[in-house]
């Protein structure tokens, strides 16, 4: 739909956002602030996104059903939240369909999504384009002996990664050589199914991590606010890995000089490398970085935004999000303006007791109306008979602004206390190391 105003022309659009987590609720919240939005649909969404737009009961990887919904609802732009539909080729599906090919999808095609979908692909890419990263060897059943020699020549700890997507569980960091060799055998023998038919063995890097995000139209890029997430379940960043227990933005150690190195050595070579490799990448790139003796190294790429990082990045993005998304779609991202909110943003994730191992669902959530000065982004929730129930490990992200990290955290923690459900758990030390 095009409406021309008397002076400026504004494109008003219907947007379909794919996904159902806290990341998508935060994106929906930001999209809905734009005067360029006509209608927002989310597939499948969650009870939080239902307050902002219209949820469609369609799985994000049910491409045929998405096609029907896009055509029926006159969707002008599709934004992909999670990696799964990207790795499965949702962008290719649209490009190859006569009735969908003119509807832009924000996200890389199947090949570009391999940056996340295959650790071996991403390591080869980084080495080909001289992007700083840990040394590695890719091992399959056919060169397992070489893999063992490679492990023996490394110093502990040993890093073993399943090549493919393994629901965030495919990375092992082990101190013992013999255990690493037996885990290598187990992984190649199918410990993570097809995802570990190839295993990437990496040199261990010691440093402090942060997440950097860009939007790219395939040639140009804009750097979004950086964030640090807290991946472990326990205080002090101890215990099992989770999807992420909280996040802070900005990251003090990602100062201007560090970010200049990140841009020159990592971001620009990545965007240029994708282009020169013939990959037309229009979407988000998530750089998982580590600062080692002041220098940035790439630990991993993701083909999407981070979760829970998005729950702080969206707060710090001052510019119109749809305007930037349009720049990605149209290839004129360089003409767009990106501005950040100067305040600190934090998020604290409320999870189900037991997560990331077994946990119960269906607990009634109360106290949401008592929340003050925070944004509650739903992740694993569902709605039944007018009540909001827990429906996943990560339940909701409580995001707040502050003049300082501590100001913002005290607001999020106060609200985290007010929200109640059986076996609620959250970390009270988010940002402790900054």
In the complex, the residues that contact ligand GLY under the rule CB under 6 A are: 229, 244, 302, 306-307, 309
The verdict on 134 binding ligand AMP (CB under 6 A) reads yes
- 340 part of the interface to ligand AMP, by CB under 6 A: no
**C-alpha distances in Å from residue 342, one per residue of 152, 213, 251, 404:** 48, 17, 12, 10
State the Cα–Cα distance between residues 112 and 98, nearest whole angstrom.
22
Strand-pair partners of 199: 139, 162
Q: Which is nearer to ligand AMP, 243 or 393 (CB)?
A: 243
Distance CA 229, CA 287 (A): 13
Window of 67-75, 198-206, 267-275, 345-353 that interacts with ligand AMP by CB under 6 A: 198-206
Give me the least distance between CB of 310 and ligand GLY, in Å please. 8
Q: How many CB atoms lie within 10 A of CB 348?
A: 28
Determine the distance from the C-alpha atom of residue 417 to the mean position of all C-alpha atoms in its chain, rounded to a whole number. 26
Q: Running DSSP on this structure, what letter comes out for residue 143?
A: G
Give the C-alpha separation, 160 to 137, whole Å. Answer: 10
Considering the rule CB under 6 A, would residue 208 count as an interface residue with ligand AMP?
Answer: no
Residue 267 carries which DSSP code?
I
Shortest spacing between CB 100 and ligand AMP, in angstroms: 32
CB count in 10 Å sphere of residue 366 = 13
Which of 27, 75, 159, 165 binds ligand AMP (CB under 6 A)? It is: 159
Contact, 215 vs 328, CB < 8 A? Answer: yes
Binding ligand AMP (rule: CB under 6 A), the pick from 97, 146, 209, 407 is: 209
Q: Among ligand GLY, ligand AMP, none, what binds residue 307 when CB lies within 5 to 8 Å by partner kind?
A: ligand GLY
209 interacts with, out of ligand GLY, ligand AMP, none, CB within 5 to 8 A per kind? ligand AMP
Residue 237 touches ligand AMP, criterion: CB under 6 A? no
Task: State the minimum distance, in angstroms, from the CB of residue 286 to ligand GLY.
Answer: 7
Q: Which is nearer to ligand AMP, 148 or 171 (CB)?
A: 171
Return the exposure string of 283-292: e unless at least 16 CB atoms fall within 10 Å of the residue's CB, then b.
Answer: bbbbbbbbbe
Asked if residues 362 and 422 have their Cβ atoms less than 8 Å apart, the reply is no
Site for ligand AMP in 283-322 (CB under 6 A): 288, 299-300
Q: Which parts of this chain interact with ligand AMP (CB under 6 A)?
A: 134, 159, 161, 171, 202, 204-205, 209, 288, 299-300
């Amino acid at each position: 739909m095009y409406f021309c105003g008397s002076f400026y022309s504004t494109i008003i659009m219907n947007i379909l956002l794919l996904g159902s987590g806290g990341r998508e609720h935060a994106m929906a919240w930001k999209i809905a602030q734009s005067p360029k939005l006509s209608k927002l649909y989310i597939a499948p969404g969650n009870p939080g996104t239902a307050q902002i737009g219209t949820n469609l009961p369609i799985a994000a990887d049910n491409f045929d059903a998405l096609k029907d919904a896009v055509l029926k609802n006159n969707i002008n732009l599709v934004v992909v939240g999670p990696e799964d539909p990207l790795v499965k080729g949702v962008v290719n599906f649209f490009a190859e369909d006569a009735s969908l090919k003119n509807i832009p999808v924000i996200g890389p095609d199947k090949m570009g999504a391999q940056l996340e979908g295959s650790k071996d692909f991403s390591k080869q890419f980084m080495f080909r384009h001289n992007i700083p990263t840990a040394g590695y060897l890719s091992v399959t059943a056919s060169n397992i002996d070489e893999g063992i020699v490679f492990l023996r020549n490394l110093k502990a700890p040993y890093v073993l990664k399943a090549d493919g997507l393994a629901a965030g569980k495919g990375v092992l960091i082990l101190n013992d050589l013999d255990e690493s060799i037996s885990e290598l055998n187990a992984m190649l023998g199918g410990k993570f199914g097809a995802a570990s038919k190839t295993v990437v063995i990496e040199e261990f890097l010691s440093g402090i991590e942060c997440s950097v995000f860009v939007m790219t139209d395939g040639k140009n890029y804009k750097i979004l606010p950086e964030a640090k997430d807290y991946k472990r379940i326990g205080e002090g960043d101890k215990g099992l890995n989770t999807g992420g227990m909280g996040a802070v933005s900005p990251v003090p150690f990602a100062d201007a000089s560090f970010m200049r190195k990140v841009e020159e050595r990592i971001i620009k070579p990545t965007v240029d490398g994708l282009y020169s490799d013939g990959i037309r990448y229009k979407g988000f790139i998530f750089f998982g970085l580590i600062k080692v003796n002041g220098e940035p190294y790439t630990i991993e790429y993701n083909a999407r935004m981070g979760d829970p990082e998005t729950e702080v990045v969206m707060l710090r993005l001052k510019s119109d999000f749809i305007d930037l998304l349009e720049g990605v779609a149209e290839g004129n991202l360089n003409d767009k303006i990106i501005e950040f909110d100067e305040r600190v943003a934090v998020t604290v994730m409320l999870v189900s007791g037991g997560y990331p191992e077994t946990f119960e669902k269906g607990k009634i959530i109360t106290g949401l109306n008592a929340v003050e000065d925070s944004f509650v982004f739903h992740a694993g929730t569902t709605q039944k008979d007018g009540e909001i129930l827990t429906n996943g490990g990560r339940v909701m992200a409580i995001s707040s602004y502050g003049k300082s990290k501590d100001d913002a955290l005290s607001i999020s923690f106060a609200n985290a206390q007010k929200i109640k459900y059986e076996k609620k758990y959250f970390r009270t030390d988010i940002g402790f190391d900054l």
